[in-house]
Chain A
């Protein structure tokens, strides 16, 4: 279980506040209009933005971000049980594919034989075997995202945070990448939070949807229910697309 209790933050003049409980072992889509606070939710989880914890009804210490009951919001980003994938800029342009993956194991790049084998194995799993020596600029957009996915795998964190990871890709590639993510998550028993603005992605991948509006969780439930909603905000968001 991932829990956010009374977690809030302020960016500029906008105020965000989240209360949320999510089961593990599933792919959950986070949807909402742009600026509603989808990415902010992931950034708070990952520790890229400092969370303010409001006390729950006067009980001190009850608020916070919890992962399987453990409080994680005071941990450094690198120590939290999760790993992120962004829409772009996931790779270091001057490092080879292999080194970009190796950074997920050791940030000084000094790997032992066993760890090198781990990197090779991850490359194989994302379909990039024998591409380790290439530089990111020699890869296509889809391949670059595969490298980033490979690094997420070698980090061996139970929770994967995907922030519009396929938005820059063509439709056919999106499907391919979605299938890959689904496969890998089953294989490695990962939980996934996927920020997307594409209802089709949600349908294809996610069992559950969390809908965010005006900096709060507005609705959550099964994906199939989501598209049938008569709620005004959700209808306005979906428009005629489904």
Chain B
């Protein structure tokens, strides 16, 4: 007979937390199968255009981000002592937790009709014209987020090249071109397919960016079309059809990604430790120096300028008015609550899944199933899940009164793949290294948690919670679907102010939101993660 242990309870709870919402959502969808006019949807040219655009923008975004990232990573690897290096790497590592609405705002401030670029162009005598709404704007925003991500992963690869290899290459008198073909390219080649699949999936399901910078008939993705079907057309059957399409596509992308190998470690290594053994023979020529400087400058401008523009726009006279506004504080409170609850919930889910995985290490199928469960949100994207919950729960409860709980749940699930990615290596290693020792010392339960797991895991837990919390604080996806005038979060407030031409108020709100996301990230990373050595 199966003997119940405490880990069964924890794992069972997290299975329920992960699977129940999915089941509710899928159940809700199935109720609409009869209503759906399949034939009409399949022949609908608008839907096909949306599908085409989703693939097209995601492909372009991935290709541009990765191509630029290769250049930037190479330049960073070559210039170990370049003076803005530290600042740049720091900016690149926080870019991931900048709320998407902030990036969009920064890009509008730069490239919009009244933006700095237009002004510069005008001053130079050109005729400014609007290019930001549509594909170009979406690409700019996607590159803003994915260039730093890709650069860090590629730089990590380049810095893993053995010092002996560089010594060898300098002894063999290799030129910059030889180094690229014989050393760097073979090293980078291995991660590119997985990196591309990851960035493609992120861009394919991107919501806030496309909703703010696209959204017209020419530039809408499936994710945004689902939202529009519910909020604007009240056509739930169509939303169900689009959701199923999205699930099919995302499943396909994830399957391709898995076929390409193990996922890559994104976060743990900080990168950028200058290494005296690191010497390569192509650092002296002036042309290389000029090239690298230009590339690094371009990358800094792409990532730093939007953030800088946001900060500058936040310096205005509206501070007092905005700060006295009670709505702002309620929204900030809600966002903080969503952020912390999502991070905690996500940690509980991840812990339960990892416990089960550790206990089932011998049964490969079971362990695989658990691993899959952690990535389920990649197949059923957040907006699809939220849509399903919206439809499934609305007959029973007033979804607008429990909306923040749903937001927390979906955000926790969205954070789960990151959580697992950061925690699993360290967690499973504890099992391998210390399980026998612990059982021989009869160390289990609370003392084991306190003495063994916590000291080893607090760094990764701090990092993972910081990430999930900051991402949830800036989330503008699920909130938009459920948001009502009564319940606001900071990103939603920001979005409304952006739409209603309250430029000064939007500027101040943006700075507050940015400051909040970054401080949540830094505080959790330090407080939970503990001091650095």
Dominant SS among interface residues on chain A: loop
Given contacts A47-B170, A89-B162, A92-B165, 16 further A-B contacts (CB under 8 A): A43-B167, A46-B171, A49-B276, A77-B281, A78-B171, A78-B172, A79-B173, A80-B171, A84-B168, A89-B164, A89-B168, A92-B186, A95-B182, A107-B172, A107-B174, A107-B182
Question: Which residues in A have their C-beta under 8 angstroms from that of B281?
Answer: 76-78
Residue of B186, B276, B277 contacting most chain A CB atoms (<10 Å)? B276
Question: Which residues in A have their C-beta under 8 angstroms from that of B276?
Answer: 11-12, 49
Question: Which residues in B have their C-beta under 8 angstroms from that of A43?
Answer: 167
Interface size on A, residues (CB 8 A): 26
Q: Which of A77-93 contact B (CB under 8 A)?
A: 77-80, 83-84, 86, 88-90, 92-93
Residue contact A76 to B164, C-beta cutoff 8 Å: no
A94 at the interface (CB under 8 A from B): yes
Inter-chain CA distance A76–B183, complex, in Å, is 20
Interface size on B, residues (CB 8 A): 19
Residue of A nearest to B279 (CB): A48
Q: How far is the CB of A170 from chain B (nearest CB, A)?
A: 21
B178 at the interface (CB under 8 A from A): yes
Q: How far is the CB of A13 from chain B (nearest CB, A)?
A: 12
Question: Which residues in A have their C-beta under 8 angstroms from that of B175?
Answer: 107
Inter-chain CA distance A103–B168, complex, in Å, is 10
Residue pairs across A and B with CB atoms within 8 Å: the count is: 58
Question: Which residues in B have their C-beta under 8 angstroms from that of A142?
Answer: none
Residue contact B164 to A86, C-beta cutoff 8 Å: yes
Q: A49-B276, A94-B186 are in contact. Are A76 and B170 (CB under 8 A)?
A: yes
A241 at the interface (CB under 8 A from B): no
Q: What are 25 inter-chain pairs, A to B, with CB distance below 8 A?
A: A46-B171, A47-B170, A48-B167, A49-B276, A76-B173, A77-B167, A78-B173, A78-B281, A79-B173, A83-B171, A84-B167, A84-B168, A86-B167, A88-B164, A89-B165, A90-B168, A92-B182, A93-B186, A95-B182, A103-B172, A103-B182, A107-B172, A107-B174, A107-B175, A107-B178
Inter-chain CA distance A47–B172, complex, in Å, is 12
Inter-chain CA distance A43–B276, complex, in Å, is 12
Inter-chain CA distance A94–B190, complex, in Å, is 12
Residue of B nearest to A152 (CB): B171
Mark each residue of chain B from 181 to 200: 1 if its CB lies under 8 Å from any CB of chain A, else 0.
01100100000000000000
Q: How far is the CB of A100 from chain B (nearest CB, A)?
A: 10
Inter-chain CA distance A38–B182, complex, in Å, is 29
Inter-chain CA distance A92–B179, complex, in Å, is 11
Question: Which residues in B have their C-beta under 8 angstroms from that of A95?
Answer: 182
Question: Which residues in B have their C-beta under 8 angstroms from that of A48?
Answer: 167, 170, 277, 279
Inter-chain CA distance A46–B168, complex, in Å, is 10
A108 at the interface (CB under 8 A from B): yes
A104 at the interface (CB under 8 A from B): yes
Residue contact B182 to A84, C-beta cutoff 8 Å: no
Mark each residue of chain A from 54 to 84: 1 if its CB lies under 8 Å from any CB of chain B, else 0.
0000000000000000000000111110011
Q: Which of B269-285 contact A (CB under 8 A)?
A: 276-277, 279, 281
Question: Which residues in B have their C-beta under 8 angstroms from that of A76?
Answer: 170, 173, 281
Inter-chain CA distance A84–B172, complex, in Å, is 10
**One of A12, A78, A90, A94 near B170 (C-beta < 8 A):** A78
Mark each residue of chain A from 134 to 148: 1 if its CB lies under 8 Å from any CB of chain B, else 0.
000000000000000
Mark each residue of chain B from 255 to 293: 1 if its CB lies under 8 Å from any CB of chain A, else 0.
000000000000000000000110101000000000000
Residue of A90, A94, A95 contacting most chain B CB atoms (<10 Å)? A94
Residue of B nearest to A12 (CB): B276
Inter-chain CA distance A84–B171, complex, in Å, is 8
Inter-chain CA distance A92–B187, complex, in Å, is 10
Residue contact A108 to B171, C-beta cutoff 8 Å: no
Question: Which residues in B have their C-beta under 8 angstroms from that of A79?
Answer: 173
Question: Which residues in B have their C-beta under 8 angstroms from that of A47?
Answer: 170
**One of B167, B173, B174, B183 near A46 (C-beta < 8 A):** B167
Inter-chain CA distance A94–B186, complex, in Å, is 7
Q: How far is the CB of B418 from chain A (nearest CB, A)?
A: 31
Inter-chain CA distance A43–B165, complex, in Å, is 13
Q: Which of B400-454 contact A (CB under 8 A)?
A: none
Residue of B nearest to A82 (CB): B171
Residue contact A92 to B183, C-beta cutoff 8 Å: yes
Inter-chain CA distance A88–B163, complex, in Å, is 11
Residue contact A90 to B164, C-beta cutoff 8 Å: yes
Residue contact A108 to B178, C-beta cutoff 8 Å: yes
Inter-chain CA distance A79–B281, complex, in Å, is 12
Residue of A46, A78, A79 contacting most chain B CB atoms (<10 Å)? A78
